[in-house]
Chains A and B, each alone.
Chain A
Amino acid sequence: MPLLCVHDLHVYLGESHILQGISFDVAEGGVTALLGRNGVGKTTTLRALLGLVDRRGTIELAGDNIEHIATHKIVQRGVGYVPEDRDVFSALTVDENLRLAERDTEPRYDLVYDLFPELRERGKQAAGTLSGGQQQMLAIGRALLNDNQVLLVDEPTKGLAPLLVTEVALVLERVSELATVLLVEQNLGVVNRVARDAVVLDTGRVVHIGPAKELLADKPMVQRMLGVG
């Protein structure tokens, strides 16, 4: 049974019908990539799963319907979120950002500091003064602190230098051994490296579902669906 089942999900933002009835499953374990050009609704999909935007349709997490549940309760069921723009709290220190994210009685600081030693060294620094890469580490670290069933990760390599992209890819590989990951990612090298399945969106609809490697090997299809390659 899939860990996450999305069926006929609709989202309206203002007058626009942004998600027009999307359906897909996320199998337990590993990384499922959510792909598509800019503006097709990938971020909106993650936000809809979390209840951060009004949505219609059914969403099942581990067999339970969560589409009527408030965001904080969905998260408490073991959903971690790494948002597209990091959204770390800039006025809070690194330590405070992590402390705020603690849900479990034994937060996994060992894991987080092992992956990102800098977060320990910079504990007293205001998160707003971190570099983009450091903020991304904090955003990921914050989601790893708790033992989540699924992690929703939105473009973690966006705007990062090539060296950092590789580091994030390594982290994603390691993370996918601990939890199921639904990953929005534009860097197809990273997708190729970490993703098992792929779901492709185009203007609010699902246009392709299949193994990630197969999709990426099909250059014409990648060109048609993602506009790159």
Chain B
Amino acid sequence: MSTFLLLTITGLGLGAMYFLIASGLSLIYGLMGVLNFAHGVFITVTAYTLWFVESKIGDVPVLPRFLIAALAGLVVGTVFAALTELVLIRPLYGRHIEQVLVTVGLALAVTALVTAIWGSDARVVTAPAWVGQTTTIFGAHIPNDRWLEIATAVIVLFALEAFLRRTRYGLIVRAGVENRAMVTALGIDVRKAFTLVFAIGGLAAGIAAVLYTLYSTTVDPQQGTSLVIFAFIVVVIGGLGSIRGTAWAAVMVGLVQQYANYYASSGLGDLSVVLLLGIVLIARPRGLSGSFA
């Protein structure tokens, strides 16, 4: 029972991070029709900024030091994401293949650059002590970072929904997902919304990067890419362009991965996720849901 509970909470924590990454991917694809292969770069940029800043400030207690570094990482990651849209995506407006190719190029370039500067080995980040400790419920010793992951993802889910439902830009995004041309025909510069969803996507992925850093206490050049692969699967399962669908799919993928790794055999987790993807696509070819309803 306690093992099952630990697996479940860990699976939910993993799903929380997948959700944070996938929600941005889903918004970007839904609004712009661009599969953003550079999304892992936003994770890498945030994580390395966090590590870099943390390693440069000495003489500060661990918690404030981590918070300052994390904040710096989030700011840099968000700005980087917005610039990606402005500098690389926008000039290729209307040319989807080129837009996707440029995101692939950016992903390869940044990964290579980071590896060239700091090497391919993982770098150690010092997380606040509380995060590494456990809380015991029903006999299960749950590492505290899992709670943080889940709580953060829930907050981000509600914040995203509030943004989509209650703000003018949210309205523009939801309308743009349905019919971009008609949004411009109402006199709205939809490109501002493009930059905004990239920034939001970069911020959410950056939050995932901070949480993943707490979980692994390291950063390395490849972790962005591996997380994003599962996030892509989550997006496809959840239905392109749906936040709720993405959340459900992220939970499913996180849980299936954990259960399969433990109850079947280690390594089967990834395979099971692919199997889940196949089953969902056969049963519901457009994913679990299809719009921002």
Contact = CB atoms under 8 A, between A and B. Distances in A.
B184 A75 contact: yes
Interface residues of A, number: 21
Contact of B174 (A76, A87, A91): A91
A62 interface: no
A99 B188 CA distance: 12
A92 B293 CA distance: 9
B292 to A, nearest CB: 6
Given A91-B291, A92-B171, A103 B178 contact: no
Given A72-B190, A75-B187, A100-B172, A89 B291 contact: no
A106 to B, nearest CB: 16
Nearest to A77: B187
A42 interface: no
B175 A100 contact: yes
A48 to B, nearest CB: 13
B293 A71 contact: no
B182 interface: yes
Contacts of B137: none
A96 interface: yes
B168 to A, nearest CB: 8
A101 B184 CA distance: 10
Contact of B171 (A76, A81, A83, A99): A99
A101 B171 CA distance: 10
A111 to B, nearest CB: 17
Contacts of A142: 186
A33 interface: no
Contacts of A166: none
Interface of B: 168, 171-172, 174-175, 177-179, 181-190, 291-293
